[in-house]
Amino acid sequence: MEKIEAKDFEKYNRKFLLSLFRVFLWWLILFEILNAYEILNHPLSFTWSWLITVALFGWVIAEILMFFYKWINYVLILPLISMPIFLDAFWDIFLLYKAFHNYDKFLHFFNSALIAWVLFIVLREKFENAKFTKTFQWIIIISMTTTLWALYEIEEYAEDVLINHRLLRMGNSFDTGDDILMNLLWGIFMVVLLISYFKLRKFLNEK
Q: Domain boundaries in the chain?
A: 1-99, 101-207
| Averaged pLDDT, 66-94 | 86
What's the pLDDT band for 176 if we cut at 50, 70, 90? low
Lowest-pLDDT range of 36-45, 76-85, 169-178: 169-178
Contact 47, 169 (CB under 8 A): yes
Mean pLDDT of 131-159: 79
Task: Give the pLDDT confidence score for residue 110 in this predicted structure.
Answer: 78
Cα gap 140→145, rounded to integer Å: 8
| Farthest-apart Cα atoms in the chain, separation | 64
Structure-model confidence comparison of residues 149 and 22, the more confident one: 22
Percent of the residues in the chain that have a pLDDT greater than 70, as a whole number: 86
pLDDT of 119 reads 86
Q: Which has more confidence, 168 or 31?
A: 31
Rounded average pLDDT over 33-49? 91
Q: Please give the average per-residue pLDDT across 67-84, as a whole number.
A: 84
Q: What is the DSSP letter of 10?
A: H
Answer with the residue of higher pLDDT: 74 or 37. 37
**pTM for this prediction:** 0.75
Under the banding of pLDDT at 50, 70 and 90, the label for residue 128 is confident
CA nearest neighbour of 116 among 93, 92, 149? 149
Q: Which of 53, 51, 118, 114 is nearest to 86 (CA)?
A: 51
Confidence of residue 190 (pLDDT cuts 50, 70, 90): confident
Q: Are 179 and 153 in contact (CB under 8 A)?
A: yes
